[in-house]
Every structure is written in C-alpha cells, then in structure tokens.
Amino acid sequence: MGRLIFSSLFTLAVLMSLVFGVVMAVMLFTDTINIWLAIGLTIIFNVIAWLVGPFFTDWLNRVFYKTKFISPEDLAKEHPEISEIIQKVSSEYNFHFPKFGVIADKNPTAFTYGSGRFNARIVVTEGLFHFLSAKEAQAVVAHELGHIVNRDFIVMMVASTLVQILFELYAVLIRAQGKRSGNLKIIALVSYGLYVFGIYLLLFLSRTREYLADAFSARYTSPQTLSDALIKVAYGIVAAGDDDSSKRLLASTRHLGIVDVVNAKYYGVTSYVAQNDSKVLAEVMVFDRVSPWAKIAELNSTHPLTGKRIGHLGDLAKEMGKKFSFDIDGAVERMKIDRSRLYADFALGFLVSLLPWILGLGVFLFVSIPGTLAAFGIGMLLQLAYRYPFGTPQPTTVLEEMRNPYASPARGKPVELSGKVIGRGVPGYIFGEDMMYQDKTGLIFLNYTSALGFLGNWFFALKKLKTLFEVPSTVKGWFFRGIGSMIMLRTLTTEKEKIRSYPILWSLLIPLILVALSVLLALFLA
C-alpha cells in the first residue's frame, strides 16, 4: 500500500517538475504574458469541468444509457448488502451516501465519477445483481468506493491539467517571433516531447490508482473475492449452467465469481473453475504474464493487465495471511511456453503493422512520389490479409481461446462459437452496435460492422440488436486478444435469420483509393 501511494505521489511530482521546468526555461528567454494567460485559462476550464462534470455525466447516463438513480432507502430494501458496504465506508470516512444509479443491461459492470467524496456517484448494471452473489457485488462496490476514498477524481484532474499545460506551452512557444524565437521554439519542441511522455505518465498514474482501489476492496472483502471477480468478468470465464454439457462442466467445478469494476465488458452466471481447478484459471492469466503484446497494450491502457492485478492481490493475501488460489508462475512453468515462437510471432506482427510506412517511405526515397501512395495502399492490403487470415472457422469455446498464450491483437484466428447474445457491448448504450456473447464456458465482446458504415451501425443498434438477446445462435469471426479479448464478427446465425458483419469491407476502401489516386497521379505527371 505504501509503495502504491508513493508511486502516485512520485508520478504527480514528476509531472509538476516537467511543467515547472519548462516554465522556468520560458522565464529565462521571454517577458511574454501570453503563456500565463493560456495556462490560467487551462486551469480555470479544468476546474469548472471538474465541478460541473458530474451533473453533465448524470444527464448523459440518463439519456444515452437509460440510467435510473435510486434512493438510499430503496437500495437498502432491494440490495441490502450493497447499502451496507456503502454505509460502512461513507460513515468511516465521513462523506455522504453516494448517488447510486442502475443501468438496465445484463452485461455487469460498475463505475464511479464525481468531483470528490462530497458528490460521488456509483453506477452499476442490473447484471451485477442478476449474476453475482451478494459478497461479489459488495466487492465490486468496494472497489468503486476505493476510488472515492482515495480522491482519484481530484488526483487525475490535477495530473491531466499538468499534461495539458505542457501542450499549451508548446502551442504558444512554437509561434514565437523575434530574436529569441529560436530558443523558444526549441523549448516548445522539448515541451511537446514532455507532453507525450506526460501522457504515458498519466496512464501509469491511472493504473496505480486501480491497484490502490483493488487494495481497498481486498481490505473490506478479500483478495480472493476480487481476484475471482477479475477472472469472471475481465476474462469472461463463466459457464451457462443450463444445458447438459454445462452441467457436466460444472460437475467438476464450483461456484466462483465477481465483476471487474472499471473496464468490464463481460458478464456471467457461474465461473468455469473454482478453487479445486484454479490451475485452469491461472493458465488464462499466462497471456498477461508472457505475451509481448500484453505488455505493449498495457502501456496504452488506463488499467493494468488483469493477470498483474491478480498477482498484486496474491501478494496482498500473503501479507494479510489469507488463502489465495492462483499461481500464475506455476502455470507458466507448467505450460512450457515456447518463447522463441512467442517473440517471432510478435516480431512478424509488429513488422506487418509498420508495413505501409516501410513500403511508402521506401518508394518515396528510392522510386517516385506518385508511387508512394500505391506502396502505402499495398502495405495496408497486405496488413489486412495478415490480420484476417482465410480459412474455415473452427468450433471452439471462449475458455479454449483465452487459454492460448500465443493469441494476438494483430492477427485474428478464425473461430466459431455457439451461444447467445446477452447484452450490449457497452452496457446500456443505445447507439452501441456491438454485443456481448455467451457460450457454455464464457463471454466475449462481438465487434459488429455494418456494410452501410456508421449509419448502418446506428440502425442496427436502435432497431435490431435487442431482438437478438437470449436467442440461441452461432457466430463466426476472428478472435483477437490484447488488453481484452473480442471477436470481429463475420456472421451471426439464428434459426430464423443470418446477420452479416463487414469488418474487412471498410478497411479495403482506403488502400484501394490510395492505389487509384497513385495511378491517376502517375498518368497526370506522365
């Protein structure tokens, strides 16, 4: 706990030193006051946004997510265990009972927002109550209360303001005129570099606050409970428990679960694995421990890798003298990871991601300017062929794919799943066209793309998506895994209809247009 608090304070201190270092450099080379006006306006704007933001967010939640706010009395009647944990924490830390909202969606998640302890809000989905036990729901809310108690709204506002000031310094100084403009423009470029660095510090700070909120929840519930939550929801490893195959599956397992609190995209009824089968769950976490893709993805994420969070909770359990089920290091050793394959696949995928730029720059430097666009477009087409490999989708399960440490966010795997759509990809969002899909072992995010672009996506979200809820179906598409997992949907088939998704169509247009423009430019210059 002390180490995490120190990390947060140290990150804030570094951000402050970056800002004031540039400011001091400016003072050495100029007498201008424009820069102070820009900084002042930035601070004033952010403070106003911080104060009024919760009320604007309330409106957004009501209009676009159909959030219903309920009174503390109603919450105590309907969900006494949730009311109990909120009452306990708010009394202990001397702040008012947070405003509590519920989104009518079965994709369970929870989040909090506000300006500080004095006007915090907690919002959850109905799926939280429908699929989780009382203790599990308490752990979810305890995590959100951790954000409130730790004053994360204020910490992140201050940090983001400092990063914005660095950009303001760049924007003002890069336009400097006069005899000292050269020095000022150098400072501007340094400020921009620090701004980019500051963004990554901001992400690091956000991840640190998540660890602190995890520690808070673990203290009020248990590290094991919160770990079960992350596995069940962040990884989507759950079982339907309705049909014969699910009953056979559950015969060798026990109840487990709780929900991830911030980046949740999944829901479930019962965890696939319990304490006596924790080795299987540890294997799901191996990707977070060994994959280079996971490490790259985390750098650009506001949330830590789930496997790292569970490892942190394991350390907390040891400190608290409590039992903990998951041994990720043991799973890594047991699975005998082929690291040469792991890094060879990563190197190829990373190279393919740069291919348009490599080809475009090569043609620009050594061939011709008109051919540059065509080279860039051809690189994008090759990239597309790598990302969506051809082949017959193979029947599989969410669990099977999540246990694959060689999965990638750059190259999909053709898969086929059987199950049903259970909610929107973004819980409650009426314009969200994506879906949450459940098979007998878990849940996964389905990315739908209409042939008509964003207008088709909106129509599907508003008119069609709800008709697919709870209807048995089969989906085919490409499985990807990075900071989270998803399927780029190709088809969704029920007894009555077949829904088609076109993830490749729109990705083809830009490279084809670039190639066509290159040809026209070459003809024009000939």
Q: Per-residue pLDDT averaged across 59-76, rounded?
A: 91
Could you report the per-residue pLDDT of 419-457, keeping only the tens digit for each? 999 889 888 888 999 999 989 888 899 999 999 999 999
| Alpha-carbon dihedral angle through residues 256, 259, 264, 270, given to the nearest 10 degrees | 30
What confidence tier does 239 reach under pLDDT thresholds 50, 70, 90? low
Question: Is residue 242 over pLDDT 70?
Answer: no
What confidence tier does 53 reach under pLDDT thresholds 50, 70, 90? confident
Nearest to 328 by CA among 262, 282, 271, 371: 282
Helices 181-220 & 80-92, crossing angle to 10 degrees?
A: 120
pLDDT of residue 259: 31
Could you report the per-residue pLDDT of 359-416, keeping only the tens digit for each? 999 888 887 777 888 999 999 999 999 999 988 999 999 989 999 999 999 999 999 9
DSSP letter assigned to residue 335: H
Cα separation of 206 and 212, whole Å? Answer: 10
Show the tokens assigned to 499: 């829904």
pLDDT of residue 244: 38
**Of 8-17, 84-93, 196-205, which range is least confident?**
8-17
Q: Per-residue pLDDT averaged across 322-338, rounded?
A: 90
Could you report the per-residue pLDDT of 24-44, keeping only the tens digit for each? 566 555 555 566 777 777 788
- The per-residue DSSP string of 44-111 comes to HHHHHHHHHHHHHHHHHHHHHS-EEEE-HHHHHHH-HHHHHHHHHHHHHTT-PPPEEEEES-SS--EE
In the chain, the percentage of residues whose pLDDT exceeds 70 is 84
pLDDT of residue 268: 28
**Of 88-102, 268-282, 478-492, which range is least confident?**
268-282
Nearest to 386 by CA among 352, 342, 356: 352
What confidence tier does 13 reach under pLDDT thresholds 50, 70, 90? low
pLDDT of residue 23: 65
Cβ–Cβ < 8 Å for 39, 165: yes
What confidence tier does 460 reach under pLDDT thresholds 50, 70, 90? very high
Could you report the per-residue pLDDT of 192-221, keeping only the tens digit for each? 888 888 888 888 898 999 999 999 999 998
pLDDT of residue 435: 94
**Of 207-221, 267-281, 319-333, 512-526, which range is least confident?**
267-281
Question: Is residue 256 over pLDDT 50?
Answer: no
pLDDT of residue 249: 27
Question: Is residue 274 over pLDDT 50?
Answer: no
Q: What pTM was estimated for this model as a whole? A: 0.79
Question: Is residue 262 over pLDDT 50?
Answer: no
Question: Is residue 346 over pLDDT 60?
Answer: yes
Show the tokens assigned to 349: 């995928």
3-class SS of residue 442 = strand
**Which comes out higher in pLDDT, residue 25 or 318?**
318
Question: Is residue 248 over pLDDT 50?
Answer: no
Nearest to 468 by CA among 488, 451, 491: 491
Average pLDDT taken over every residue of the chain: 83
Cα separation of 59 and 64, whole Å? Answer: 8
Cα separation of 260 and 229, whole Å? Answer: 6
Q: How far are the Cα atoms of 108, 119, 121, 123, 496 from residue 102, in angstroms, in the given order?
A: 10, 17, 11, 6, 33
**Of 38-47, 108-117, 402-411, 503-512, which range is least confident?**
38-47
